[in-house]
Each structure stands twice: as C-alpha cells, then as structure tokens.
Amino acid sequence: MPKKATAQETALKSVRKMLASGKLKPGQQIIQDALASRLGVSRVPVREALKTLQAEGRVIHDPHRGYFVAELNAEDLSEIYHLRSILEDEAIRIGVPKATPADVVAIKGFHDEGLAAAAKGDVNQMATLNRKFHMAIYRLCNEERLITMIENLWDSLDAYRVLFLTDSSNRERTNDDHAQMIQAVKQKDVKESLKIQSAHREHALKTIKHLLSAFAQTD
C-alpha cells in the first residue's frame, strides 16, 4: 500500500494545483492561516510547502510580510523561454535518436488523448496531456536532472498556460504541431524535431506576451 503522505506533501500538491488552475493568481498574497485552515492542517507544513515553491521561483517571500504568487513580466517570460529552448533542444538532441517504436506509441497515446480532451472542450485536461506529451519526448534523453529542470520551467509558466489554451486557434495549432512532431520523432529526425519545437515555443511565447500586455492594461 502507498504509505501515508505527510501534511507538507499534501499541502505542496494542493498549492501547486491552485497555482496551475489560477485559484491563486500572480501577485496575490498567500495568507498562511487561511491556506492552512482551508487544507485542514497547521501553518507549519504550509510554510514548508511554500519554501519549496519559493526555491522553484513560483512564489516570492518577503520576510515578515509573507509569500506572494510570483508575477512574470515580459522579460521574465523571455528568459524562461530562452532557458527552455536551451535545455529542451539539448534533451531532443540526446533523446530523439534513441526513440524506440514503443516510445513513439506512448507519445502518440498522449496526443490522441489530447485530441479527445479537445473535442470535449476540457481545457484543463488538454493542458495536462499537452505537458505529458512534451515531457515524454524530453524524457527520452534519460538525464534525470535535465528533465527536472525542464519540468520546473514548465511549472513556472503554469499560471499563464491556461491563458494560452483558452483561445481555440491556439488549441488547434498545438494539435497540428504535435502531429508533425510525432512524425519527426518516429523518423529520429533531430533537425526537424528541433525546428518544430522551436516554432511551437516561439508561437506560444509571442501569444502569451501579447495576452499579458492586453491583461496589464486592464489592471
């Protein structure tokens, strides 16, 4: 049986979910007491969960003032996407040549599930599967630390990803790109994989920046 998780572990999971779903919004203060009683635990494990998120850059800690959900400006977004391109390109260079037919089937599986979610209009599920799809490709490189870093970067963008997938044209484009990507991986074509991924990212960055500046005006 899976042994019981500690309060801090469940707290961390919950807060991650709240960040991803937008229940906690960028810039917002996280009142420890409110969060703790919401989760039915004391403030101590909540604080430990927040410390982890702070180290990952997802929340900002201002001593004696508290924890705030990290806010990304256009420059931050550029930096994160830049880091993603550096690390993801490397993961592809190492991993794609090693892709087995079974790997391709697994990757295609996530794509197919994603299409189903898209048909049902379940944006949250789409986001989850989109991530699984891409991470399955990066995981081919088999370098644990590299993979973890890429995951952290994706985490930082969680709050902004929902924004992106809200637009149906983005959803369509995403699915098209994925289909192309599967072909490239299947053929172990590193160069083509890099090209598709890069275009995919650039489009997302541009769109999110655009949405962000539109959003900023209404503040």
Query: Smallest distance, Å, CB 147 to a copy of itself?
Result: 10
Question: Tell me, what DSSP letter sits at residue 11?
Answer: H
To 5 degrees, how large is the angle CA 40–CA 44–CA 48?
A: 105
> Rounded CA gap, 54 and 66, in Å?
11
Nearer to DNA, 63 or 101 (CB): 63
**Is 146 one of the binding residues for a copy of itself (CB under 8 A)?**
yes
Contacts of a copy of itself in 1-20 (CB under 8 A): 5-6, 9
Query: Smallest distance, Å, CB 66 to DNA?
Result: 3
**Is 67 one of the binding residues for DNA (CB under 7 A)?**
yes
**Is 48 one of the binding residues for DNA (CB under 7 A)?**
yes
Question: For 165, how many CA atoms within 13 A lie in the half-sphere containing its CB?
Answer: 24
Binding residues for DNA, how many (CB under 7 A)?
Answer: 24
Piece in contact with DNA (CB under 7 A), picked from 33-41, 74-82, 172-180, 185-193 = 33-41
Nearer to DNA, 43 or 203 (CB): 43
Nearer to DNA, 51 or 188 (CB): 51
Q: Fill in the per-residue mask, 37 to 66: x = in contact with a copy of itself (CB under 8 A), - = not in contact.
A: -------x--xx--xx-xxxx-----xx--
DSSP string, 117-161: HHHHT-HHHHHHHHHHHHHHHHGGG--HHHHHHHHHHHHHHHHHH
Q: Is 59 helix (H, G, I), strand (E, B) or coil?
A: strand
Interhelix angle 144-166/74-95, nearest 10 degrees:
130
**Is 3 one of the binding residues for DNA (CB under 7 A)?**
yes
> Rounded CA gap, 29 and 164, in Å?
24
> Rounded CA gap, 208 and 25, in Å?
16
Residues that bind DNA (CB under 7 A): 3-4, 6-8, 29-33, 36, 41-45, 47-48, 61, 63-67
Residues that bind a copy of itself (CB under 8 A): 5-6, 9, 44, 47-48, 51-52, 54-57, 63-64, 76, 79-80, 82-83, 86-87, 90, 143-146, 149
